[in-house]
């Protein structure tokens, strides 16, 4: 009983938070574009008699001042981002380690009925977070047409990145679907129990690797802002514990 609840809740929560984050980003970009259009319209309405007019000279001075201030602000933001990136990486590694530790602790405390359920739950939680990162990457790459190129431009490196950012997330999606499917029905009895454990452990390591890969690409590539990442990170982490508690309550009441 607890397995379908944990699996379905993790998938639904991730889908909802991802869609909500994309909608928020789209509204923010539309608002910035409207402000930019208004500023351009105001500037285009100004007419002068010559390049040396006082209006033109003042406009150039203001423009230079704005560019300098913008450059300084970008330098400060980049410095702060680099300082916080190590902390964000630590949070992400903590998430990848804490998730199986908590789930396995619940299993050894006999709060989860089987090791299969525990391993499935770990894989679904990490896969869901990785897939949400991939959705954000796809939104920026194909909807906003933002291309983030790596330093390696040779053919072999491009092929490796194509595999990493296309095949692996699809593999995670297949793993998550299979986990949800087997949450509702039992695994075939022909599968050896030890072999099943090995498959689930390998699936988790694949999920963790892809999540770490996408984290470095999306967050370190500055596609996803720090505030948005932290907000989603703590929401997912909090909802993970809430989902586990709800599942345990339901499981305990069904005994």
pLDDT in tens, 173-187: 777 677 666 665 665
**Residue 173 located in a structural domain:** yes
* pLDDT tens sequence across 136-147: 777 666 655 555
**Residue 40 located in a structural domain:** no
Percent of the chain with pLDDT over 70: 31
Integer Cα distance of 129 and 171 in angstroms: 14
**Residue 238 located in a structural domain:** yes
Please count the structural domains in the chain.
Answer: 1
At residue 147, the 3 state secondary structure works out as coil
DSSP state for residue 187 in the 8-state scheme: P
User: The tokens 């003042």 sit on which residue?
Assistant: 58
How confident is residue 164, by pLDDT bands cut at 50, 70 and 90? low
**Residue 70 located in a structural domain:** no
**Residue 221 located in a structural domain:** yes
- pLDDT tops 70 at residue 83: no
Considering the entire predicted model, what is its pTM? 0.52
**Residue 85 located in a structural domain:** no
Integer Cα distance of 44 and 89 in angstroms: 46
- pLDDT tops 70 at residue 2: no
Residue-range definition of the domain harbouring residue 128: 2-29+90-254
Task: Tell me what pLDDT residue 135 has.
Answer: 74
Could you give the C-alpha distances from 90 to 96, 154, 212, in angstroms and in order?
10, 31, 11
Could you give the C-alpha distances from 162 to 87, 158, 248, in angstroms and in order?
28, 6, 40
**Residue 163 located in a structural domain:** yes
How confident is residue 203, by pLDDT bands cut at 50, 70 and 90? confident
How confident is residue 58, by pLDDT bands cut at 50, 70 and 90? low
How confident is residue 43, by pLDDT bands cut at 50, 70 and 90? very low
**Residue 139 located in a structural domain:** yes
How confident is residue 45, by pLDDT bands cut at 50, 70 and 90? very low
């Amino acid at each position: 009983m607890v397995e379908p609840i944990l699996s379905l809740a993790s998938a639904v929560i991730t889908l909802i938070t991802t869609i909500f984050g994309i909608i928020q980003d789209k509204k923010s970009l539309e608002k910035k574009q409207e402000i930019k259009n208004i500023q351009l319209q105001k500037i285009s309405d100004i007419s002068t008699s010559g390049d040396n007019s006082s209006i033109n000279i003042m406009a150039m001075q203001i423009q230079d001042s704005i560019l300098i201030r913008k450059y300084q602000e970008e330098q400060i933001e980049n410095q702060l981002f680099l300082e916080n990136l190590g902390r964000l990486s630590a949070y992400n590694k903590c998430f990848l380690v804490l998730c199986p530790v908590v789930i396995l602790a619940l299993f050894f405390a006999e709060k989860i009925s089987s090791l299969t359920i525990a391993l499935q739950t770990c894989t679904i939680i990490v896969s869901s977070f990785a897939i949400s990162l991939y959705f954000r990457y796809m939104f920026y790459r194909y909807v906003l047409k933002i291309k983030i190129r790596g330093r390696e431009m040779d053919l072999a490196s491009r092929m490796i990145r194509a595999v990493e950012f296309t095949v692996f997330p699809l593999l995670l999606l297949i793993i998550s679907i299979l986990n949800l499917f087997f949450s509702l029905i039992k695994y075939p009895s022909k599968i050896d129990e030890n072999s099943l454990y090995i498959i689930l452990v390998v699936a988790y390591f694949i999920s963790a690797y892809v999540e770490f890969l996408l984290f470095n690409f999306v967050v370190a590539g500055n596609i996803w802002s720090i505030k948005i990442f932290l907000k989603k990170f703590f929401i997912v982490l909090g909802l993970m514990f809430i989902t586990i508690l709800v599942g345990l309550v339901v499981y305990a009441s069904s005994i």
